[in-house]
Structure 1
Amino acid sequence: MKRLILTLSILASVVVSSCIPHKDTLYVQEKGNKDSLDAIVEQQRPYRIQINDILNIRVKALDQDNVKIFNPIGEKDLNASSVERSYFDGFTVDIHGNIRIPTLGKINVLGYTTEEIEQLLEKKLLEEEFKETANIFVTVKLTGLKYTTTGEIGSKGTKVLFQERVNILEAIANAGDIPVTGDKKDVLIIRQYPQGQKIHHIDLTDVNVMQSPYYYIQPNDMIYVKPLRQKAWGTGTNALQNLGAVATVLSVITTTILLFNRL
C-alpha cells in the first residue's frame, strides 16, 4: 500500500511539474502599475535612419515632367511584388550612411528622421535644380517595416509590414502567434544601433509591456522566442496530455516486467 501511495505521489508530482501554468499562456496581465514617463517619451521618439534601410522618395512639382528622374518607375512592372519594387526602386543607405540621388549625388542620411530628410532634399533641390516657383514637394518613407522572427513562434523568417508603427504584439500576431510551448515571459528583441546590436528582454504576459521603450518594434529587429523547459522535456502542454504520457510509460514498463517474469 505504501509503495502504491509513493508511486501515485511521484506520478502526481511529474504531471503537475511538467504542465505549463495557465497564467504563462496569457498576454498582458495586471501585475502592478509601473508607469514610466521616460519609457513613454522613448516610444514617441521618431525612428532614425540606419545602415541598410531602404527609403522610398517621391518628388512632386507643378510640372511633373521635370521631376521624373527622381521618381521610381518600377510600379509599372505588375509581375514584381511591392517588396521587390521597393528593393530595386528604393534608395538603400550604404555602409557610410549615404544614399545616391539622381543629379544630387550622395547625401548622408544616417541618424536622420524621414521628416528631416524631406526638408534636406527640398532645400538641396531648390538650391541646385529648381526655383521657388516650381513648388517642390518631397515625401520620404521607409519602404515597409522589415523584421525577422525565430525560435518558438508560428512562422519563422523575415516579414514586411507597410505601416509607420508596429507594436510587438502585432508583429507576433503577423508571424502566427507564440504557441503554448513558447516563453512569453522573456521574449528577446535584437535591435540594430549605430554602435552595433543589443539584446532587450520584454515580458508579454505583463500589461506594463505597453509602457516599455521596446513595445514598438523598429526596422531590422529580430524577435526571438525561447522554448519553455516543458518543450525540451518532451512532455505535454497540459495535465491530461502528461497523464497520457505517464500512462503510456507505465504500460510499457508493466508489459516488460510481465514478459520477463514469464521467461
Structure 2
Amino acid sequence: MKIKTLIFAFTIILLTSCKTTTNNITYFQDLNNQSAVTTGKAVNYTPRIAPDDQLSITVSGMDPNAVATFNIPLASYLAPGETNVTSTPVLHTYLVNSHGEIDFPVLGKLQVGGMTRSELTDMMTKRISAYVKSPIVTIQIRNFKVSVLGEVNKPGTVNVPNERLSILDALGMAGDLTIYGNRTNVLLIRDNNGLKEYHRFDLTSAEMLTSPYYYLQQNDVLYVEPNKARKGNAKYSQNGQFNVSLASTIISALSVLASLGIALLVK
C-alpha cells in the first residue's frame, strides 16, 4: 500500500513539473483561442539613416551614358594574389560619416543622416533630374545587422535582408530560444547617438507586439538570459566539480598519511 502511495505521489509531482515547464516556454500566454485578436495599436517603424551606415546607391535611366557619371565603377577589393571565384560583383557603398553626410558623384556632399530610405530616394531623384531625364534611384542599407546572444540555438550576428526586422524575426533567424532561455526577461541594447538604451521584453505576453521597440534598428543587440533551471544546473555543476576536486585532494592526503604511517610501523 505504501509503495502505491509513493508511486501516485511521484506521478503527481512529475505532471505538475511538466505543466510548469510548459507555462514557462509558451509565447503570448495572455492571448485567447479566438481566430482573430486585436492586441492594440499597430507599431509603425521605418529605420532612418545614421552615421556608419553603408549605402548602396545606383542610378539608372533610359540613357546609360547619361547616368554613368553617377555610378562609381564596381570594385571587388581583392587582396594581392586573391581571385574572385563568384560572378556576383561587389557593390560600391557610401559610408555615412559622423556628421550624417556622404560624398556622391556630381552632387557632392549630401546630408542624409536622419532620413528614411524613401526620403533620400525622392531627394536624390529630384537633384539628379537636373542632369538626367527620368532617373531611377535605388538605395539600400547594406550593413543593417543585429546581434542575438545568450540562450538561443544559433547565437551571433544576423544580417537583415530588408529594412524591417522585428524581435520575433531576429529570434527566428537565430534558431529561436533554447529550452533554458528566460522568455520573461529578454534584453534589448541599443546605441542611440552614443548613449546606451536598455529595454526588456516578456515574450509570454502579447503586449510586446505593440511596444515601440518591437522593430529593431541597426546594430541592436538582443540578449536572452538563462532561466532558473540553467542557472541551477550551472551552479550545481560548478559546486559538483569543486566537491569532486576537494574529495580527491582529501583522499590523496589520507593516502600519503597512511603510507607514512605504514612506513613508520615497519621501521
Give TM-score scaled by structure 1 length. Answer: 0.69
Q: What is the rounded CA distance, in whole Å, between the counterparts of 1:81 and 1:153 in structure 2?
A: 35
User: Which residues in structure 2 correspond to 1:106-117 (within 5 Å)?
Assistant: 106-117=109-120
Residues 136, 108 of structure 1: alpha-carbon distance in 2 compared, 3 angstrom cutoff: same
**Are residue 126 (structure 1) and residue 129 (structure 2) matched?**
yes
Among 78, 84, 90, the alignment partner of 1:85 is 90
Q: Shift of residue 140 of structure 1?
A: 1.7
**Are residue 66 (structure 1) and residue 71 (structure 2) matched?**
no
**Are residue 102 (structure 1) and residue 105 (structure 2) matched?**
yes
Larger fraction in helix = 1
Equivalent residue, structure 2, for 1:44: 44
Q: What is the rounded CA distance, in whole Å, between the counterparts of 1:224 and 1:192 in structure 2?
A: 14
Contact in 2 for aligned 1:50/1:97 (Cα 8 Å): yes
Q: What is the rounded CA distance, in whole Å, between the counterparts of 1:72 and 1:166 in structure 2?
A: 30
Higher-RCO chain (CA-CA 8 Å, sequence separation at least 6): 1
Equivalent residue, structure 2, for 1:239: none
Equivalent residue, structure 1, for 2:206: 207
Q: What is the rounded CA distance, in whole Å, between the counterparts of 1:22 and 1:202 in structure 2?
A: 19
Contact in 1 for aligned 2:58/2:71 (Cα 8 Å): yes
Q: What is the rounded CA distance, in whole Å, between the counterparts of 2:87 and 2:152 in structure 1?
A: 25
Equivalent residue, structure 2, for 1:250: none
Tell me which structure has the larger Cα radius of gyration.
Answer: 2
**Aligned-pair Cα RMSD in Å:** 3.6
Q: Deviations over 1:188-227 (max 9, x none)?
A: 1112323623111111111232222222222211111111
Point out where structure 2 has 5 or more consecutive residues left out of the alignment.
Answer: 1-8, 78-83, 241-267
Q: Shift of residue 162 of structure 1?
A: 0.9
- Percentage of matched positions with identical amino acids: 29
The amino acid that maps onto 1:124 is R
Equivalent residue, structure 1, for 2:219: 220
Q: Shift of residue 45 of structure 1?
A: 3.4
Point out where structure 1 has 5 or more consecutive residues left out of the alignment.
Answer: 1-8, 237-244, 246-263
Q: What is the rounded CA distance, in whole Å, between the counterparts of 1:221 and 1:69 in structure 2?
A: 36
Q: What is the rounded CA distance, in whole Å, between the counterparts of 2:214 and 2:196 in structure 1?
A: 17
Contact in 1 for aligned 2:39/2:209 (Cα 8 Å): no
Q: Shift of residue 80 of structure 1?
A: 6.4
Q: What is the rounded CA distance, in whole Å, between the counterparts of 1:228 and 1:81 in structure 2?
A: 47
Q: Deviations over 1:141-184 (max 9, x none)?
A: 22263111112222222121212322211211111211011111
Q: Shift of residue 73 of structure 1?
A: 4.5
User: Which residues in structure 2 correspond to 1:11-22 (within 5 Å)?
Assistant: 21-22=21-22
Residues 141, 188 of structure 1: alpha-carbon distance in 2 compared, 3 angstrom cutoff: same
Q: How many residues align?
A: 216
Equivalent residue, structure 2, for 1:6: none
Q: Deviations over 1:46-85 (max 9, x none)?
A: 2111111121211112211222243354488964698x93
Give TM-score scaled by structure 2 length. Answer: 0.68
Equivalent residue, structure 2, for 1:157: 156
Q: Spell out structure 1 runs of 4+ moving beyond 6 A.
A: none
